Amino acid sequence: MDFFNKYGYLAIIISSALEGASLPFPGFVVLIMTGHNVYMGKLNLFYGVILGGIAYSIAALIPYFIGKYIKDGLYRFLQTKLKVPSKKIDAVEKFFHKYGEFSVFISRPLLIGNYISYFAGLANINIIKFILLTFFGILPWNLLYLYLGYYFKGNLDQTSLFLKKYNLPITIIILFVIIVFISIKRNKDKDY
């Protein structure tokens, strides 16, 4: 806890950047722990959420550019350098092809969220659009984890119990929002 008290915003920035760069790092744990500093009045919730979102979005440009410039060697890079199983790579690619650019926004809380940046680069999504989709996709999760850290005073055990208890309702709400958004998007596309 001393680390989080000492480094506050810097801990949020570094952990968010590591996660955004697709490195296997549990950034949400750091957000929960630094949420205790929000509770103590040492950090501002809004600044923490925004700084985490900016750091994540900037760092997500690393896998974006790797995907953009490696192209054909992307699968080999992910499997050999990052040790990502081919099954996971296939799942990310399928998800990306199914939902297109919107997958950058909706995938952030999912296990595949950090890897979607590679496929966004591969698909040559406009960089400004990519940054905005990434930023707004990660914000709700930064807010959730920092707030839970605030509410439970950085206690990971209590936070974990809460998340286990409400995992299904939270998942249903998220899926509902995604389905509504996709339905609206499809109806708009049909009109054109």
pLDDT, tens digit, 9 for 90 and up, residues 61-99: 999 999 999 877 888 888 888 788 888 888 888 878 888
In a domain, 137, yes or no: yes
Quote the domain boundaries for residue 72: 2-156
User: Would the pLDDT of 42 be above 80?
Assistant: yes
Helix (H, G, I), strand (E, B) or coil at 6: helix
**Angstrom distances, CA of residue 75 to CA of 9, 140, 188:** 35, 30, 34
* Residue at 184 is within a domain: no
pLDDT for 4 = 67
Put simply, whether the predicted model's pTM sits higher than 0.85 gets the answer no
Q: Is 173 domain-assigned?
A: no
Distance CA 38, CA 53 (A): 17
Do the domain assignments include residue 161? Answer: no
Q: Would 187 be classed as within a structural domain? A: no
Separate counts of helices (H) and strands (E) for the chain: 10, 0
Residue with tokens 């708009």: 188
The pLDDT-based confidence of 190 (bands split at 50, 70, 90) is low
Say whether 184 sits in a helix, a strand or coil.
helix
What would the two tokens of residue 139 be?
A: 């914000």
How many distinct structural domains can be found in the chain?
Answer: 1
Residue 20, pLDDT > 90, answer yes
Residue 123, pLDDT score: 87
